[in-house]
């Protein structure tokens, strides 16, 4: 039980009716979860508006409601008016859980690409150095030994604070989290201050009716992080970095390949042998150390530089950083799977044209005998994405294997036909195999010496969504089944 007044500390509000001395039993923002004595925060969602349920909440015993619009409220119900109920929920949630962020060192990573990999690299380094680290991100939230599958990159503010409290209570000293532009725009990370905020890069993405209205708004939302952190660490090589940090209230450090960067990568080398792709470089400036990664490409250098720039603030020794980066693995992010001594196979989450182009261009730098790209596109999503991905794979891969990827309520063949529209703009060779396991079997059984084969689009996902139902489907399992079947067939 908490006095309502304590939950509202630090919030500009108007007491419309009732008293802030009322005792609150729980904090709720979903009308279906209203219980006796709760504070019900009315959120305007994409599907429903909480303001429409004020009377129902009162009937079910809510002690108070927080609103941003005028409402007709029954007598005896305390009504709090704020400018933005999402922001109000964040501040009240922080208070409800007794400000757990103050007991942790909180690291927030924002950017179009690299968030997930960077957070896992940071977790790996800090744990190797003896810290207990929580994680919140696209794949999962990790609290001690418990992993909770994620629904959003950045969860609702109440859930963020709940996770923080559980992390602090389980002995975590720090937490590293992905911070999406949507999360910032919807105030999911309001109500506390990040110790370190990171900007990886920005490209036109998430622009549309249900996301950001323009690239400028997208940049502005990313920039909110740098008015909510103590230290900002930004990629100086990104041409928009100054716009993103405009109006910042934190100190700023930079990283990149640029001579002007505070922490910079020099002497980058591609590492290649059968079944293995990697990269090495020397980090100069704020640290001075050699780095070697068992992950290919320039973006791997950026991700690791970011992690080094962060962990420097935790006084981690260069030797610990080196060992941790060498060992850091992220499920579904350029995840190498050993299947042959002749060719390289990997799984990656690249599921739009931008990420696929970046991945394939990186892999081409290693001069494979053939670059083979297996991918599909999601149903009930933009057809433009299918054309674009078909064109990118047709242009960059020597062979494309087009297959299913979450067809949802669409006919898988219709999705493949859309991909082929983009493919037709190129000279790229392709085969189409709707069944994803059969497509993987084709890729492996037709692998040639020196090939690099990438299974794109699913990454960490372990399901296939068909007609509203998620069926178990993990590419790692499919690969093992295929290898077993091929081995039996050769006997």
When pLDDT is averaged across residues 452-469 and rounded to a whole number, the result is: 95
What residues contact residue 417 under an 8 Å CB cut-off, 6+ apart? none
E strand segments, 119-193 = 133-136, 140-143, 146-149, 174-178
Angstrom distances, CA of residue 23 to CA of 19, 78, 184: 10, 11, 30
Q: Please give the residue that has the higher pLDDT: either 214 or 388.
A: 388
Q: Which of 43-52, 367-376, 471-480 has the lowest mean pLDDT?
A: 43-52
Spatial CA neighbour of 470 closest among 480, 462, 478? 462
What is the per-residue burial (b if ≥16 Cβ within 10 Å, else e) of 77-98? bbbbbbeebbbbbbbbbbbbbe
* Tokens representing residue 345 in the block: 């196979």
pLDDT at 87 over 80: yes
Total residue count of the chain as it appears in this document: 491
**What is the signed CA dihedral for 194, 110, 288, 330, rounded to 10 degrees?**
110
Specify the CATH superfamily of domain 335-489.
Answer: Mur ligase, C-terminal domain (3.90.190.20)
d(CA 113, CA 93): 29
Angstrom distances, CA of residue 237 to CA of 199, 201, 240, 254, 312: 11, 8, 9, 9, 20
* Tokens representing residue 363 in the block: 């892999």
What pLDDT sits at residue 210? Answer: 53
Q: Which of 117-126, 425-434, 481-490 has the lowest mean pLDDT?
A: 481-490
Q: Where are the domains of the chain?
A: 2-96, 100-327, 335-489
What pLDDT sits at residue 274? Answer: 78
* ∠ Cα 458 295 206 (to 5°): 45
DSSP assignment of 350-391: --SHHHHHHHHHHHHTT--S-EEEEE---TTS-HHHHHHHHH
Angstrom distances, CA of residue 211 to CA of 160, 181, 186, 221, 305: 21, 9, 11, 11, 29
**Quick one: which H or E segment has residue 415?**
helix 412-423
- Could you read off the pLDDT of 186-214 as tens digits, one per residue? 999 999 999 999 999 987 554 454 555 67
How is the beta sheet containing 399-402 ordered, strand by strand?
A: 335-336, 344-348, 452-456, 371-375, 399-402, 429-432
- Could you read off the pLDDT of 120-167 as tens digits, one per residue? 999 999 999 999 999 999 999 999 999 999 988 899 999 999 999 999
Fold designation for 2-96: 3.40.1390
What residues contact residue 477 under an 8 Å CB cut-off, 6+ apart? none
What pLDDT sits at residue 491? Answer: 63
The reported pTM is 0.90
When pLDDT is averaged across residues 111-124 and rounded to a whole number, the result is: 93
Angstrom distances, CA of residue 302 to CA of 93, 282, 309, 397: 34, 12, 10, 24
pLDDT at 185 over 50: yes
Confidence of residue 273 (pLDDT cuts 50, 70, 90): confident
d(CA 214, CA 189): 22
Angstrom distances, CA of residue 421 to CA of 375, 383, 388: 15, 10, 9
When pLDDT is averaged across residues 73-96 and rounded to a whole number, the result is: 97
Q: Judge whether 339 and 445 are in contact, CB under 8 Å.
A: no
Q: Judge whether 81 and 148 are in contact, CB under 8 Å.
A: no
Query: pLDDT over 90 for what percent of the chain?
Result: 89
What residues contact residue 25 under an 8 Å CB cut-off, 6+ apart? 1, 35, 36, 37, 38, 63
Pick the CATH number of 100-327 from 3.30.1510.10, 1.10.1200.10, 3.40.50.720, 3.40.1190.10: 3.40.1190.10
When pLDDT is averaged across residues 233-238 and rounded to a whole number, the result is: 97
* Tokens representing residue 367 in the block: 């001069």
């Amino acid at each position: 039980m908490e006095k309502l007044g304590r939950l509202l500390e630090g919030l500009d509000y108007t007491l419309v009716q009732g008293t802030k001395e009322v005792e609150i039993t729980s904090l709720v923002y979903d009308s279906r979860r209203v219980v006796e004595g709760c504070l019900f925060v009315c959120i305007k969602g994409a599907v429903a508006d909480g303001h429409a349920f004020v009377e129902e909440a009162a009937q079910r015993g809510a002690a108070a409601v927080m609103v941003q619009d005028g409402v007709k409220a029954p007598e005896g119900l305390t009504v709090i008016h704020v400018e933005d109920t999402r922001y109000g929920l964040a501040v009240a949630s922080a208070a409800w859980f007794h400000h757990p962020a103050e007991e942790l060192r909180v690291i927030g990573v924002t950017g179009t690409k690299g968030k997930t990999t960077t957070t896992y690299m940071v977790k790996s380094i800090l744990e190797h150095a003896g810290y207990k680290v929580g994680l919140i991100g696209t794949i999962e939230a990790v609290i001690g030994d418990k992993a909770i599958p994620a629904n959003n990159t950045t969860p609702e503010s109440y859930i963020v604070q709940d996770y923080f409290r559980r992390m602090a209570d389980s002995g975590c000293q720090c937490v590293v989290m992905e911070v999406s532009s949507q999360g910032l725009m919807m105030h999911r990370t309001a109500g506390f201050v990040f110790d370190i905020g990171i900007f990886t890069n920005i490209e036109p993405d998430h622009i549309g009716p249900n996301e950001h209205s323009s690239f400028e708004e997208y940049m502005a939302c990313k920039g909110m992080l740098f008015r909510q952190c103590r230290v900002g660490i930004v990629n100086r090589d990104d041409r928009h970095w100054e716009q993103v940090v405009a109006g910042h209230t934190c100190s700023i450090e930079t990283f990149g390949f640029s001579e002007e960067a505070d922490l910079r990568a020099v002497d980058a080398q591609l590492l290649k042998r059968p079944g293995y792709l990697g990269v090495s470089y020397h980090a100069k400036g704020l640290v001075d150390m050699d780095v070697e990664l068992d992950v290919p490409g320039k973006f791997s250098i950026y991700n690791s530089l970011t992690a080094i720039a962060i962990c420097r603030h935790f006084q981690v020794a260069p030797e610990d950083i080196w060992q941790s980066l060498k060992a850091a693995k992220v499920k579904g992010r350029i995840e190498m799977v050993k299947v042959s001594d002749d060719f390289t196979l990997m799984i990656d989450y690249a599921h739009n044209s931008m990420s696929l182009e970046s991945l394939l261009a990186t892999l081409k730098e290693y001069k494979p005998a053939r670059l083979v790209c297996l991918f599909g596109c999601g149903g009930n999503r933009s057809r433009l994405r299918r054309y674009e991905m078909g064109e990118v794979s047709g242009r960059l891969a020597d062979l494309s294997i087009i297959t299913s990827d979450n067809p949802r309520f669409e006919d898988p063949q219709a999705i493949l036909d859309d991909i082929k529209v983009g493919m037709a703009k190129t000279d790229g060779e392709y085969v189409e195999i709707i069944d994803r396991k059969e497509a993987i079997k084709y890729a492996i059984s037709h692998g040639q010496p020196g090939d690099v084969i990438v299974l794109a689009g699913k990454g960490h996902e372990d399901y296939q969504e068909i007609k509203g139902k998620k069926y178990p489907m993990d590419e790692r399992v499919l690969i093992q089944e295929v290898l077993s079947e091929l081995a039996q067939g050769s006997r």
